[in-house]
Structure formats: C-alpha cells, structure tokens
C-alpha cells in the first residue's frame, strides 16, 4: 500500500532559486530511489524549515529512504529532523480531490 512520508527540519537556506540550483542534482538522484513515486520540495524561509512530502510504493521503501535521508541530512549538519510515515485515508482523500 502506498505511504506518505512527511519530513521537515531546521534549514537556514539557500531558499528559492538558489536552492533549486544547489539541489538540482540531488533531486535527479531521488528519482532513482526504490519505490519513490513523487516528492514535493517544501520550504519556509521565515520559520527556517526545509523538508519534503513524498509518496512511496510501500512502507519498507519509505522506511529505508527515511533512514538514509536522515543520515545524509545529519552529515550535512542539519538538525531537528522530523520524519513520519503516514497512511492515506483513501475515501476521505478522494472526497477532497487529493491527487491519488
């Protein structure tokens, strides 16, 4: 069953276009992660948060990505990492036109 992975962390930038340029290669590589269907890249400059919302094929793929990604972020000096794997309530999400 598909799972959502919700990740966010303390992030001091770069944001916006500069972030796009810096992380283009990382985004390309994420397309090759096992079971990754899509990712929204999220950012909030005011609250200094970065993150992502991902759809994965199943829980095992989401779990192993989260472990790898958390280790990578920690190596980059990033702290306050919060990652949760979530079920999607499909019927309620359908009512609210979620892109399932």
The nearer residue to its own copies, 74 or 93, going by C-beta atoms, is 93
The nearer residue to its own copies, 12 or 20, going by C-beta atoms, is 20
Question: Of 25-33, 61-69, 70-78, which segment contacts its own copies by CB under 8 A?
Answer: 25-33
Contacting residue, 12, 13, 16, 67, with its own copies by CB under 8 A: 16
Rounded CA-CA distance 29/19 in Å is: 16
Q: Which of 85, 15, 64, 4 is nearest to 44 (CA)?
A: 15
Q: Which parts of this chain interact with its own copies (CB under 8 A)?
A: 4, 6, 8, 15-16, 19-20, 23-24, 27-28, 30-31, 36-45, 47, 49, 51, 53, 84-89, 91-93, 95-99
């Amino acid at each position: 069953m598909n799972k959502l992975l919700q990740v966010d962390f303390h992030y001091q930038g770069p944001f916006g276009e500069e972030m796009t340029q810096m992380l283009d290669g990382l985004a390309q590589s994420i397309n090759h992660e096992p079971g990754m269907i899509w990712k929204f890249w999220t950012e909030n400059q005011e609250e200094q948060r970065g993150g992502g919302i991902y759809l994965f094929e199943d829980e095992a793929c989401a779990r192993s990505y989260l472990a790898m990604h958390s280790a990578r972020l920690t190596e980059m000096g990033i702290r306050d990492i919060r990652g949760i794997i979530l079920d999607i309530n499909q019927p309620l999400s359908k009512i609210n036109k979620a892109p399932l």
